[in-house]
Structures are given as structure tokens and as C-alpha cells.
Amino acid sequence: AAQVQAYVRDSSVDAAGALTLDAVSNQSIHATVIAGSVALSGGLVGASVSGAGAGSENRVAMQVQASIEGDKQNRGIRAASVDLEASDNSNIASLTGAVSVAAAFGALGASLSIGVGIAHNVVDNDITSYIRDVDAGVTTTTGDITLDAHESATIVAQAFAASAAVG
């Protein structure tokens, strides 16, 4: 998975102001896949076969992380306030479809038409916010220590198939 990280690692912090770490992922996929097929035949004996298929697979896989891990020389983390936030707002919009038409004309006519539309969409994210292994601790002078992790991913998918045979 791809990564978006905001971190303090193996370091000491002594800040008069706020310590804020934000890791934000805004991945977006917009996919349109359409297939079409037409078969026509004519004569004394007419036979037509038509087939159309469309498929789409869309995947977002992210590791989004805001973290404080470890400290340097046991001096810890000190700030007015500490705010860690990891968030994901990924979006997949997918339209997948197929249209198939077959027609046979004649004294003896036969036709076959098949249409298939398949869509597979996945958001597989790991969103974390954490503090660990800070031996001297994390302290604030005036504010809070806040850890947030938010997943707000959306998938809007439409798949269709249409098929017609005449003859």
C-alpha cells in the first residue's frame, strides 16, 4: 500500500507552541468503461451472434499514519498541546456497461445476443494515529493530547448490461 505519514521519530521536542501532525489522504478514481457490439445478417438464411462485455476493477489501498514514536536521550516530548490526526477521504466513482444487439433477416433467421457488465471496487485503507515508546513521556503545558483517525471513503458504482436479439 502507498503511504501518507506525518511523524516524529526518535526525537525530542520542547515547543512553546502546539505540536500538530496531520496525515491526510485524498485519493480519487473516476472510471468509465463501456463496450458495444452489433451483428446483422440477411439473405435466404440469416444468422447473427453478438456479444459485448465490459469489466472494471478499481482499488485504493493506503496506509495513513500520524505518530510519535520514541524519544532522543530520554528527553521526551513537551509542547503547549499535542494533536495527531490521520484521515482518509478516498473516492471511487465507477460506471461500467455493455450493450449488444444482434439481428438476422431472411426466410429463416436466427440471432443470439449476450451483454455482460462487471465492476469490482475496493477501498482497503489502514488509518492510524498513535504515540508509543516515548520513555520520558509526552507532556503538555496548556492544552490536550488529542489522537484522531478518520476514514471517510466513498464508493459510487454503476454496472449495467443490455442485450437484444431479433430474427
Residues 22-54: pLDDT tens digits?
A: 999 999 999 999 999 999 999 888 899 999 999
- Pairing between strand 145-151 and 126-132? unpaired
**pLDDT given at position 70:** 94
**pLDDT given at position 21:** 98
Average pLDDT, the chain: 95
**pLDDT given at position 106:** 86
Residue 116 has pLDDT above 90, yes or no: yes
Rg, Å, the chain Cα set: 28
Residue 160 has pLDDT above 90, yes or no: yes
pLDDT digits (tens, 9 = 90+) for 139-157: 999 999 999 999 999 999 9
Q: How confident is the model at residue 1 (pLDDT cuts 50, 70, 90)?
A: confident
Q: Please check whether residue 137 is in contact with residue 74, taking contact to mean a CB–CB distance below 8 angstroms.
A: no
Whole-structure pTM over 0.85, yes or no? Answer: no
Q: What is the DSSP letter of 144?
A: -
pLDDT digits (tens, 9 = 90+) for 118-131: 999 999 999 999 99
Cα–Cα distance, 113 to 167 (Å, whole number) = 11
**pLDDT given at position 107:** 86
- Pairing between strand 77-79 and 13-14? parallel
Cα–Cα distance, 117 to 162 (Å, whole number) = 9
